[in-house]
Amino acid sequence: MSSIIRQDMSTKDWTIFSVKRAQRPHDYKGSKKKKKILEKYEPSCPFCKGNESMTPEEILAINGGKDWSVRVVPNKFPAVEYIKGSPEGSERRHISGPYLAIDGIGHHEVIIESPWHNDNIVRMDTTHVEKIVRAYRQRFIDISSDHQNQLVIIFKNHGKRAGTSLDHPHSQIVATPFVPGYIRNKMFEAQRYYDDFGNCVYCDIIKHELEDASRLVYDNDKYLAIAPYASVVPYNIVIYPKKHQSCFAETTKDELMDLASVLRTVLKKLYDLLDDPDYNFVIDSSPVDQSGNRHYHWHLEILPRLSTRAGFEIGSGMNINSIFPETCAENLRNQK
């Protein structure tokens, strides 16, 4: 057979793997258009050290003051908005005929990952990356304490194809007053698996992947990174905590260095093998009111932007992948 269709056991989604479309690793390398060389400081960049007055008032700073390492500020152009002390907006639903709406409330923040405009996680030491994930964790916990927020998403867009608008290294956090159907479906499938087998589906995946090892990219004491069995795009990588944790807020301070290490290592492997590809990553966690459940397992998913969803993918909801995850994992393991 020239193709095989695999199912993601955690979501029941399908991916078509077409070996006839297989490409060599260098064929997946970043954009043919040469990326511009960035300076350490950009006078017009609001995220650069020395330009702090260009951003809204900071919410959190690690190593605060003029020598800050990581800053968190409100997004100046938010998708959803939190106005402290304002009675405007609520999670109440508005009904207009057959249509439903909610006020655009929530949180939308930017995590400025470095003072330097030309920095990159792959060039940072692990101690600095730990400060970034520490900021992630702290803001996740703080935002979750607002009763209006039901879902907190932490994500990073790297490169134009991934949707970034500013070159300065940064991530974002968005919290919404409801849980969308996409997340509800993932929760439902995880709950159904738990009801059927009495285990967390993700814990079973982790156990199998550690034993099989063909899709294992990297692991340390507390985390592992794999190329998923039904990877949705070439070089799709998922990082899981080895210990069952349904919500990112359950991550302890002692675990953050290990998380920083696996994240930096995997991104460095992708950077070196694929010549700094554009990518998105997202921390996928239980909704706020389901923290501590037994059936879900938070994870960080990395999705390189090496291919484009076309008509079949859009129409069917399935993905077509031209490279098997076992090949991706082997290529990345061999990348020192």
Percentage of the chain beyond pLDDT 90 is 82
pTM over 0.85: yes
Beta strands in the chain (DSSP E): 3-7, 14-18, 60-62, 70-74, 93-96, 99-102, 107-112, 151-158, 170-176, 216-219, 223-226, 237-241, 279-284, 299-304, 319-321
N residues, the chain: 336
Burial state string for 129-158 with b = 16 or more CB within 10 A and e = fewer than 16: bbbbbbbbbbbbebbbebebbbbbbbbbbb
Strand partners, 6: 15
Mark out the alpha helices in the chain (DSSP H runs): 126-144, 181-197, 201-212, 256-274, 311-316, 325-333
Structural tokens at position 286: 């239980």
In this predicted structure, the answer to whether residue 89 has a pLDDT above a threshold of 90 is no
Compute the distance between CA of residue 136 and CA of residue 68 in angstroms, rounded to an integer. Answer: 16
In this predicted structure, the answer to whether residue 118 has a pLDDT above a threshold of 90 is yes
Place of tokens 């909704």: 287
Which candidate, 303, 296, 315, 313, places its Cα nearest to that of 184?
296
Structural tokens at position 163: 């949707």
Angle between helices 181-197 and 201-212 (to 10 degrees): 80
Residue 2: its pLDDT value, please?
Answer: 72
pLDDT digits (tens, 9 = 90+) for 50-72: 999 999 999 999 987 789 999 99
CB 222, CB 258: distance < 8 Å: yes
Domain at 3-333: CATH code: 3.30.428.10
In this predicted structure, the answer to whether residue 292 has a pLDDT above a threshold of 60 is yes
All residues at 6 or more sequence positions from 185 whose CB lies less than 8 Å from its CB, including other chains: 11
Compute the distance between CA of residue 60 and CA of residue 126 in angstroms, rounded to an integer. Answer: 20
Residue 103: its pLDDT value, please?
Answer: 86
pLDDT digits (tens, 9 = 90+) for 202-226: 999 999 999 999 999 999 999 999 9
Question: What are the boundaries of each domain within the chain?
Answer: 3-333
